[in-house]
Amino acid sequence: MTPRELRADVPAFQESAYLNFGAHGPSPAYVVDAVSDTVADHEFNSGADDPYTTAFASYDRARERVAAFIGAEPEEVALTESTTDGINRIATAVDFEPGDVVVRTDLEHPAGTLPWQQLEAQGVEVRVVETTDGRLDIDAYTEAVADARLVCFSAVTWTHGTQLPVSELVDIAAEAGAFTLVDAVQVPGQLPMDVQEWGADAVAAAGHKWLLGPWGAGFLYVDRAVADTMEPSAVGYRSVTDPTAAELTYEPGAKRFEIGTTSPGPHAGLIEAIDAIESVGVTTIADRIETLTDRLKAGVDDEALLSPQAYESGLVSITVDNPEATVERLAEEGIVIRSLPHPDAIRVSVHAVSTAAEIDSVITALETA
């Protein structure tokens, strides 16, 4: 499949110049069909069979597909609703005590700040490493994590589109004895993703952005050896080996972070979305995004460009006088982007399914402003 062919499969792209993939990637028709067909099959055809057996088989297929896509084993993947959900499952499974230290950067999405803010009210120290232009100072980071219990950071920053050196940051934190949790939601679908190369204890992500998957299809990687030492704060029949046994025994690996009855539909759609992205090829997608973001950056004043001039991702942040008004004005012209709360800017999210004409329309609209 080519990016153009993938674009043609997405009904939403026929109505506007959609450039907000960092928030949500509209799904191809067959992804939505997979969701609805799976729900219909489960509700209409599982009467003669055990509906739980049908759902569990669907969960197993999703875990296997996600694992293959991110370089993990199926037992290292838990199905979640979102990146926020995955981060919270880790945050609530660590037995924090007052005085423990959590380290994050000032580039994190609320998904990577709110769980720690809640812990802060319980006596946990939350240490924030300040950054410059989407870059992390390694020395400052090393000092901050020296006595940390847990470190959480993004693989690709939602504010600048910069790639953080995940493996290096994981190694530094691990050497200090800290648990490492990576927010990777801006990676799958636009950049290669191999959790084994990263080496983190846990990685949270979801399929509703660059993968063009449905909402509700999150996933959480947890290193097998690490997962087996953790006790989830919430428990259900999917997280234990025998839900009716007198003694509580958690499922081995990441599956212990799954809880109970959830619709099999979203993750069935995620399988279709991953298949579509892989049929185009992640390398092909990254190359196409690089070409289009280079075109966009060439049309933006250097002083207004907050993202790096050289390609790192499809997220391009640009300063304007009034971000919210600019987003509204472009929406009236059929161009969908978003504003950022910090830094005070607009963000254009460019996918391989975007077109040169759409990029030019943004440049023209900004020049008009």
d(CA 22, CA 9): 19
Last residue of a domain, one of 241, 276, 311: 276
Residues 85 and 203 in one domain: yes
Q: In terms of Cα–Cα distance, which of 314, 305, 311, 306 is closest to 363?
A: 305
Residues 321 and 253 in one domain: no
d(CA 55, CA 12): 29
Residues 86 and 214 in one domain: yes
Residues 146 and 234 in one domain: yes
Tally of structural domains, the chain = 2
Residues 146 and 47 in one domain: yes
Copy the structure tokens of residue 354. Answer: 């975007």
Tens digits of pLDDT across the chain (369 residues): 999 999 999 999 998 999 999 999 999 999 999 999 999 988 888 666 688 888 999 999 999 999 999 999 999 999 999 999 999 999 999 999 999 999 999 999 999 999 999 999 999 999 999 999 999 999 999 999 999 999 999 999 999 999 999 999 999 999 999 999 999 999 999 999 999 999 999 999 999 999 999 999 999 999 999 999 999 999 999 999 999 999 999 999 999 999 989 999 999 999 999 999 999 999 999 999 999 999 999 999 999 999 999 999 999 999 999 999 999 999 999 999 999 998 999 999 999 999 999 999 999 999 986
d(CA 51, CA 54): 5
Residues 183 and 300 in one domain: no
Residue 349 identity (one-letter amino acid): S
364 CB-near residues (< 8 Å, 6+ apart):
none
60 CB-near residues (< 8 Å, 6+ apart):
74
DSSP per-residue codes, 256-323: GG--S---SHHHHHHHHHHHHHHHH-HHHHHHHHHHHHHHHHHTS-TTTB-S-SS-S-SEEEE--S-H
Residues 50 and 11 in one domain: no
Last residue of a domain, one of 234, 256, 276: 276
Residues 16 and 66 in one domain: no
Copy the structure tokens of residue 341. Answer: 């709360």
DSSP per-residue codes, 203-219: EEEESSSTT---TT-EE
Which residue range(s) make up the domain with 318?
Answer: 3-27+281-368
Residues 107 and 195 in one domain: yes
Provide the CATH number for the domain around residue 217.
Answer: 3.40.640.10
Provide the CATH number for the domain around residue 318.
Answer: 3.90.1150.10
Residues 153 and 290 in one domain: no
The answer, as to whether pTM is greater than 0.85, is: yes
225 CB-near residues (< 8 Å, 6+ apart):
none
